[in-house]
Chain A
Amino acid sequence: MAAIDSMRPQAAKLRWGELDEDDGGDLDFLLPPRVVEGPDENGIKKTIEYRFDDDGNKVKVTTTTRVRKLGKARVSKKARERRNWAKFGDALQEDLGSRLTMVSTEEILLERPRAPGTKEEPTISDGLGGVQPGAVLMVCRTCGKKGDHWTSKCPYKDLAQPTETFVDRPSTADGPSAAPSAGKSTSYVPPSLRGGAERTGTEMSRRRNDENSVRVTNLSEDTREPDLLELFRTFGPVSRVYVAIDQKTGMSRGFGFVNFVHREDAERAINKLNGYGYDNLILRVEWATPRPN
């Protein structure tokens, strides 16, 4: 028994009541030692350190790095000595957490110029090329690229988003779609309606969509765009949803519009949802414009 007792590590049981407030910094011996799990066959190295954070909690910090051999370098003796130089200047304050130097997550290729006439290489159909098996599948909603980054980290954040958005814009029949040029020239004119704005492009895409416009009536008071979107998206991609809202009360005025990308989806939606019970009311779903042929 005695032998085993003496082999126990130094961290004897401390009576925390006897500890001074200021002793926070000296408690490092309470922390387990740093563990480095060396590079395994994938080159993943894990460093597990323990430290106390500002509130005195014991914190376990696991740093996972991938060690990759880039290639053999014939290094001169001077270069090897320089490797051991001390850091100076602004590099003195650097700690392990600083992410100044990072290996790119993207594989960048020296892209050969395509001779005219040659076809582009077909992209991997499932879009998962390059993702390691077992890695978390990161899907970005903006650019649709899987396995690379999450939506909030998308480098294409501000570019035109794909058609599945709920933008609060009136479709055709209702709303202030009439040109505000009638009368007041001093009131605000949105850029899309100003003179010289690029009309034809937006009109063409909007017109096609407006032929797929579905009017939904007898909506309950608290129905909003997201609800309609959720209800209708099962039939196909939706380009726009709109719910008419009474500005004074904030309640829905009981009707709204859903624009589908494809006419067939709109048709199916009408057939299925007309008469559908939704939030204590029976929906009426029909074509928005008089039946387009």
Chain B
Amino acid sequence: MRPILMKGHERPLTFLKYNREGDLLFSCAKDHTPTVWFADDGQRLGTYRGHNGAVWCCDVSRDSTRLITGSADQTVKLWDVQTGTQLYSFNFNSPARSVDFSIGDKLVVITTDPFMGNPSTIQVKSIAPHPSDLLTIKGPQGRINRAVWGPLNKTIISAGEDSVIRIWDSETGELLKESDKESGHQKTISSLCMSADKSHFLTGSGDKSAKLWDSRSLTLLKTYVMDRPVNACAISPLLDHVVIGGGQEAVNVTMTDRRAGKFEAKFYHKILQEEIGGVKGHFGPINALAFNPDGRSFSSGGEDGNVRLHHFDPEYFSIRM
């Protein structure tokens, strides 16, 4: 395939998100400016100006009219997708790390980092009819890297630096389930991706593995092993594939020529857990991965500031294991 390189960001990428129809790609980076691109040819549509810190995460509403972004400048901002105007800003006492729209786009779950004595929190806010606070959950130690809505908005699933996945009741904030310490991840969980129907999700961790879990029972389903710490993961909506992208052990940093384009996103068969292949090209660790909802293309964002958009060759769809 001929990847399309999008060099709009000057700093490392942090997150990538497609809209529901798969024609827009939103990219967040440490350079304060989330950007939206056309997902078919990679042309830039626009940027959202207003943040003063690294933008960690974003989510887009189902009708692609609202974008929400969480940033290290201690705000979460709501934007109009088409014009780039900022509609609302939630303020916090600490950097906001993860944002996720609920099904129906009326609520949003936000996580904030531990900062200056404040512990990390998971907060639920409502967007419509008007912005208001609903719930605050405190409890996990360390940074919560990602929190998403569970199936039917009944639960919130969170994962973070303490390598434990927790499922909370979204109305009362009560802790319902925790992942098992032995079989779960051993190091910080860097990323979490729900399947298209939210029945299972994939977590990537610094312990060089990614694990697939059931959303309701939190049973460990599959484990995929890499040779490097995992920074990003994604589940294909079309085939039984998962893709994981990682970084590099700190020990090896000085020995690798980062210009060689050797960092790859690895594809695994979701059920057989076997490696299908790797797609090279990034000049730095891969920090973000996302599949287009139609499953025919995917994009990766790296520490090098580049977004690479890949449309699969026809051979991809006939891979047999």
Contacts and interface: CB of A to CB of B under 8 A. Distances in A.
Interface of A: 68, 70-71, 73, 75-76, 78-79, 82-83, 85, 87-92, 94, 99-104, 106-113, 155-159
A79 B81 CA distance: 13
A71 B296 contact: yes
B48 A89 contact: yes
A101 B4 contact: yes
Contact of B47 (A70, A82, A88, A109): A88
Given A89-B48, A91-B46, A101-B5, 17 more contacts: A70-B311, A76-B21, A78-B63, A79-B22, A82-B23, A90-B35, A91-B44, A99-B7, A101-B6, A101-B7, A110-B267, A110-B279, A111-B278, A111-B280, A112-B276, A156-B260, A158-B257
Nearest to A71: B311
A89 B2 contact: no
B64 A82 contact: yes
A71 to B, nearest CB: 7
Contact of B1 (A91, A94, A108, A112): A108
Contacts of A104: 2-5, 281, 308
Given A89-B47, A101-B44, A107-B1, A79 B277 contact: no
Contact of B4 (A87, A102, A113, A158): A102
A248 to B, nearest CB: 40
Q: Is the interface of A mostly helix, strand, loop or mixed?
A: loop
Contacts of B44: 87, 91, 94, 100-101
B301 to A, nearest CB: 14
Contacts of A159: 257, 260
Contacts, number: 130
Interface in B60-84: 63-64, 82-84
Contacts of A73: 40, 294
Contact of B46 (A75, A87, A102, A155): A87
Nearest to B267: A110
Contacts of A107: 1-2
24 contacts: A78-B21, A78-B64, A83-B23, A87-B45, A88-B82, A89-B84, A90-B47, A91-B46, A101-B41, A102-B4, A102-B5, A103-B2, A103-B3, A104-B3, A106-B2, A106-B281, A109-B279, A110-B267, A112-B276, A113-B277, A156-B259, A158-B257, A158-B259, A159-B260
Contact of B279 (A88, A100, A108): A108
B33 A89 contact: yes
B8 interface: yes
A8 to B, nearest CB: 41
A79 B84 CA distance: 17
B63 to A, nearest CB: 8
B19 to A, nearest CB: 9
B24 interface: yes
A154 to B, nearest CB: 9
Contacts of B294: 73
A79 B82 CA distance: 12
B4 A91 contact: no
Contacts of A83: 23, 38
Contacts of B261: 155
Nearest to A74: B294
Contacts of A88: 45-47, 82-84
B42 interface: yes
In this complex, the member of A73, A78, A101 whose beta carbon has the largest number of chain B beta carbons within 10 angstroms is: A101
B211 to A, nearest CB: 20
B49 interface: yes
A110 B2 CA distance: 11
B310 interface: yes
A75 B6 contact: no
Nearest to A158: B257
Contacts of A109: 1, 277, 279
A78 B62 CA distance: 12
Closest 8 pairs (CB-CB, A-B): A89-B47, A88-B46, A79-B23, A88-B84, A110-B277, A90-B47, A101-B42, A89-B46
B43 interface: yes
A112 B5 CA distance: 23
Nearest to A70: B311
A82 B276 CA distance: 35
A75 B39 CA distance: 12
Contacts of B83: 88
A104 B4 CA distance: 6
